[in-house]
Every structure is written in structure tokens, then in C-alpha cells.
């Protein structure tokens, strides 16, 4: 016997959702408008189905799906390119949106998207066999980065992540390393932009761009530097 699971996800309106997944390279395999809105999309082995609810609030959605791939970096670039072509920009806040690509403390390298229906789409690649949550670091700034990453890009609690980073950046008794400072500032700028605070996002991004790093430091901060370039663009 062969079984498979197809997530069934809600949305307010079917067509914007279909358009979003079309931009990601999905094929629409079924679409109906009556007696109720319903659609199915497929990209390779990944199949998703959607049903419309007139009074549904996408901003209050709790539904989602996790897609596991063996090349998350390539898929990230493909999805970003498709969204930019479809929307004229890479949507980083509101609905739909796509977040940063990063290594998480539970053994996955992943990025998060939200479709127009508010459904969370997590796309990840296994980078460690152990999927249990890594212990919280003891060092002040590594602990802040660990927790803020979880709040921002796993729990999706942006205000909570902002408070963690702000407390770390406000410390006067100790200072982060240049790499830690860069990562904290890039994350804070990203969070501010996703929350709609463009002034804070720009100011924090300028601070991040001014952090001086040596060659070895730049290598260890590769993901943060890549996100810095994305935000600057």
C-alpha cells in the first residue's frame, strides 16, 4: 500500500492563493468556484489543497505545512525569483511574504512563507540527525540570538523576538563580538521591517552595514551578510 498526506488549508479567497503558488512554480490541478471555492496545486511530489471561507481572517490563521527538501538554498532562490517576477518585488511583510533562510537550533535549515490565506509554509532541509531543540547557550549574546531566532522564525512572535534583541543590544556591562553584533542588528532590522517600522529598520540596517569584519568573521556570518544584502536591495 502507498499512502500520502495532502494538507487541506483555509483561505478567504481562492484566486490570490492560486496565483501565489503559481508564482512558486506549482501547477493548478483543480479549481472550482461553486458550490464552494476549492483548489488543488502541485509541484513535484508536493500537493496542497485549499478551501474558501467568506468570513475567514487570514491575519488570524494558525494553519500551515512543513515541506522538507534536499536543497533548501536552491528552492529559496527559486521561490524568491518567482515571487519577485509575479509581484514586482520580494514580499517581506504582510500577506503574502517570505522570510530569511537560516540554520535553526533543531537541526533544520529553513525559511518561512505565508500565503495570501495566512497559511504558514515552512520549507526546510535536514542539517543534523538530532531534531531535538539544542540547549539554550549560556553566553549572553548567543542566548539572545538563539531565542530571538526561535521567536521570529519558528514561533513567529515578532514582538517577542524584538524585545529579546533590544535587551541584548541595550546591555552596558558587556559587549557582543563583531559577528554577534552584526547578527543581532540584521535580525532586528528584519523584524522592524516585517512589523512595518521602516525608520527603525533602515537605521538598524545602516548600523549593521557599518560593522567591520575580518575574512574569518565574514565566513561565519555568511547567512547574516546574505540577509543584509537582501534587505539593502
**DSSP annotation string for 75-143:** HHHHHHHHHHHHHSS---SSSSEE---EE-TTSEEEEEEE-TT--EEEEEEE--S--SPPPPPSSHHHH
Largest CA distance in the chain: 64
- pTM value is 0.88
Strand partners, 50: 9, 39
Instruction: Report the pLDDT value the prediction gives residue 131, as an integer from 0 to 100.
Output: 73
CA dihedral of 76, 82, 85, 91, whole degrees rounded to 10: -50
pLDDT tens across 155-166, in order?
999 999 999 999
Its CATH class, for the domain covering 8-113, is: alpha beta
Instruction: Report the pLDDT value the prediction gives residue 134, as an integer from 0 to 100.
Output: 83
Q: Say which range, 70-74, 152-156, 163-167, 186-190, has the weakest mean pLDDT.
A: 152-156
| Grid coordinates belonging to 22 | 503559481
Q: Is 73 helix (H, G, I), strand (E, B) or coil?
A: helix
Q: How far apart are CA 56 and CA 34, in angstroms?
A: 17
Q: What is the mean pLDDT of residues 174-181?
A: 97
Q: Which residues does 233 contact at the CB level (< 8 Å), separation at least 6?
A: none
Q: Is 71 helix (H, G, I), strand (E, B) or coil?
A: coil
Q: Which residues does 199 contact at the CB level (< 8 Å), separation at least 6?
A: none
Domain ranges, ordered by start, for the chain:
8-113, 135-228
Amino acid at each position: 500500500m502507498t499512502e500520502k498526506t495532502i494538507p487541506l488549508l483555509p483561505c478567504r479567497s481562492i484566486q490570490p492563493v492560486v496565483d501565489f503558488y503559481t508564482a512558486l512554480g506549482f501547477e493548478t490541478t483543480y479549481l472550482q468556484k461553486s458550490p464552494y471555492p476549492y483548489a488543488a496545486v502541485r509541484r513535484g511530489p508536493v500537493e496542497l489543497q485549499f478551501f474558501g471561507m467568506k468570513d475567514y481572517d487570514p491575519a488570524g490563521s494558525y494553519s500551515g505545512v512543513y515541506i522538507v527538501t534536499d536543497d533548501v538554498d536552491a528552492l529559496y532562490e527559486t521561490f524568491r525569483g518567482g515571487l519577485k517576477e509575479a509581484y514586482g518585488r520580494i514580499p517581506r511583510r504582510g500577506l503574502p511574504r517570505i522570510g530569511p533562510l537560516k540554520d535553526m537550533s533543531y537541526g533544520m535549515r529553513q525559511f518561512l512563507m505565508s500565503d495570501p490565506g495566512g497559511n504558514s509554509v515552512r520549507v526546510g532541509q535536514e542539517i543534523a540527525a538530532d531534531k531535538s531543540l539544542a540547549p539554550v547557550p549560556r553566553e549572553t549574546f548567543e542566548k539572545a540570538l538563539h531565542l530571538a531566532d526561535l521567536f521570529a522564525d519558528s514561533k513567529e512572535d515578532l514582538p517577542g523576538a524584538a524585545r529579546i534583541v533590544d535587551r541584548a543590544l541595550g546591555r552596558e556591562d558587556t559587549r557582543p563580538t563583531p559577528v554577534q553584533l552584526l547578527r543581532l542588528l540584521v535580525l532586528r532590522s528584519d523584524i522592524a521591517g516585517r512589523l512595518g517600522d521602516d525608520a527603525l529598520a533602515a537605521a538598524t540596517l545602516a548600523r549593521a552595514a557599518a560593522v567591520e569584519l575580518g575574512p574569518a568573521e565574514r565566513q561565519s556570518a555568511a547567512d547574516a551578510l546574505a540577509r543584509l544584502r537582501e534587505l539593502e536591495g
